[in-house]
């Protein structure tokens, strides 16, 4: 499988927490695979229904993370992710997203300019995106 990626992008996560909740411009949806919800449930000793809602017709995602009344992920505590080592793929990827371009029969990494750290930090290389791509293949296949 082939993929394209942004070749001149700088990024370094500073854990600002913007990606963990709604903003004025965006209603954030934190989607989870079945395996991710199961893993988080096991790690937190909470039933899935305590932190997710069931999704219909949104394959490969089965659940959506519930949010606080302030529109933040339930697991965001003092701007830190309480499930960081078990966070969903969608969180690992942010501010990048992997899209399948059917007309080109390839995948493409795109990024959102809403992240304040895009354009800052270190330059990302193909090997960085290869790691993300391998993780996506592992979790989605």
Q: Which tens digit of pLDDT belongs to each residue from 24-74?
A: 888 999 999 999 999 999 999 999 999 999 999 999 999 999 999 999 999
pLDDT band at 2 (very low <50, low <70, confident <90, very high): confident
Band of pLDDT at residue 135, cut at 50, 70 and 90: very high
pLDDT at 141: 78
Run of H or E including 43: helix 34-44
Average pLDDT over residues 83-106: 94
Helix or strand (DSSP H, E) at 135: helix 126-140
Q: Which among 64, 61, 59 has a CA at the least distance from the CA of 48?
A: 64
> Which structural domain, as residue segments, surrounds residue 71?
3-7+27-75+87-140
Based on the structure, what is the number of domains in the chain?
A: 1
Structural domain contains residue 99: yes
The β-bridge relationship of strands 10-11 and 122-123 is antiparallel
Residue 122 included in any domain: yes
Residue 39 included in any domain: yes
Residue 1 has pLDDT above 80, yes or no: no
* In a domain? residue 31: yes
User: Global pTM?
Assistant: 0.91
């Amino acid at each position: 499988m082939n993929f394209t990626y942004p070749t001149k992008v700088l990024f370094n996560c500073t854990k600002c927490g913007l990606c963990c909740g709604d903003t004025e411009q965006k209603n954030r949806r934190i989607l989870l695979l079945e395996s991710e919800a199961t893993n988080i449930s096991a790690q937190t000793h909470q039933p899935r229904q305590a932190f997710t809602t069931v999704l219909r017709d949104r394959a490969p995602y089965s659940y959506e993370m519930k949010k606080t009344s302030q529109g933040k992920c339930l697991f965001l505590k003092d701007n830190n992710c309480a499930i960081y080592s078990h966070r969903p793929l969608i969180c690992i990827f942010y501010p990048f997203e992997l899209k399948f371009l059917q007309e080109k029969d390839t995948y493409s990494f795109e990024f959102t300019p809403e992240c304040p750290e895009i354009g800052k930090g270190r330059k990302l290389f193909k090997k960085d995106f290869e790691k993300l791509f391998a993780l996506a293949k592992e979790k989605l296949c």
